[in-house]
Amino acid sequence: MNHTDSLTSQLLRMREAHAREPMPAWSTRATRLRALQALINEHRSDIANAINDDFGGRPAEETDLLEVFPSLSTLRHTLRHGRRWMKPRRHLPGLLFLPARNEVRPQPLGVVGVIVPWNYPLYLAIGPMIDALAAGNRVMVKMSEFTPNFSALFANLVERYFQPDEVHVVNGDASVAQAFSALPFDHLLFTGSTAVGRHVMRSASANLTPVTLELGGKSPAILGPGARFDHAVERILVGKLFNAGQTCIAPDYVLLPRARMPEFVATARNVASRLYPALQDNAQYASIVSDLQYQRLANLRDNALRDGARAEPLGDVRDQPTRRRLMPVILTGVNDDMTVMQEEIFGPLLPLVPYDTLDQAIAYVASHPHPLALYLFEQDRATIDNVLTRTLAGGVTINDTLYHIAQHGLPFGGVGPSGMGGYHGETGFRTFSHMKPVFHQARFNGAGLLNPPYGERFKRMLSIMLKRG
């Protein structure tokens, strides 16, 4: 049986299971969510070890902080609020339709597909699964072939904690991913690059499968004139160097006042040495996930230097190619013709782009593809509002980096080239639900007054409707 036949058979089994239970009770949904909790809690060290093996070195502390914690936090939040999200919501009808009543009834879509990237393989699998399961769906998950140890572990764990028609994990190479994205899911969520996202959307369109695309792009950090400078540099470096920059919402480049460029470099060196002392052998600094990604990043840096950029290393250390450890570097003297300023970096390279006025910085962001994230460091409220009004980004954090993704009450998603749709919290529940509108006509109502034949009574009623409707 080939990839497509096997995947199609699994999808049909899950569809049949959904048809037998199209509206799972909250108790059933909560049981599935608690199974995810148990999976994580009971195998936390196994998860960290597998991800560490895949990266060739990623600290367990970062896996706990950036994957385990947000996964468990999301589960707790969903278990607290999911029952309320399920309830139909009453809405008043228009005055002319009284005493009828309206409601919006959340209904599970059926079987949801999730395609997981390699950079945060636990959280970016668990997060969509939580929202889809809370909404009453069944889930098929395609793991990344670039994290083979964790992907195999996760498939094994899911088999132990779930029935095969509840959650099913798929592993395999790009051909499997292509077949997976072409399945007629009831909804498909993809997290990954913009280039691959185009292919996923094209495949899904053949089945009119609705998609949520969580892509990426070049997320800027803007240092406003009123920024707390040292604080801003520290928070940018923290957001950039977590997971060695392999984060879809990591600051990709920095826009800052031209006169403060040397100060930024000097401060960043001090910050980096404080965050990662003895960087050359510091086990808390992650490796690059693969030889392919390591070489891509090295080429981005080296090509920029060849074209006139300058490297400002954040420490007196050398790259370690055999361990895929790429040392963090600030790049100055960059321009838009360089590949490093055209592609999402996804690694520990940080270009600085100077501006002379804040309007120039805003115009620069606005003239480029909309990013997945934008970071602004500024204290003046009017300046903050000015930047928020004149720029468009998937999400924004003010005076820090990354944290908007961790807010259960905020949707997470991109805009334009950085994605479409969103999830997390109640937004995710709605993404994976059909919010079915229902109109309940009252027993005694005036609808018959509009029946043909259209005489004087109809004209009087229509006149009232046109004036008051």
Active site residues: 214, 248
148, two tokens: 């083979």
In angstroms, the CA 248 to CA 219 distance is: 9
In angstroms, the CA 332 to CA 352 distance is: 5
Are β-strands 138-142 and 167-170 bridged in parallel, bridged antiparallel, or unpaired? parallel
- Asked if residues 285 and 276 have their Cβ atoms less than 8 Å apart, the reply is yes
User: DSSP label at 143?
Assistant: -
Distance spanning both ends of the chain, measured CA to CA? 59
Helices (H), 409-455: 425-431
Q: Which long-range contacts (CB under 8 A, 24 or more apart) does 461-464 make?
A: 464/96
In angstroms, the CA 170 to CA 181 distance is: 12
- Asked if residues 112 and 139 have their Cβ atoms less than 8 Å apart, the reply is yes
Q: Collapsing DSSP states into helix, strand and coil, what is residue 55?
A: helix
Amino acid at 113: G
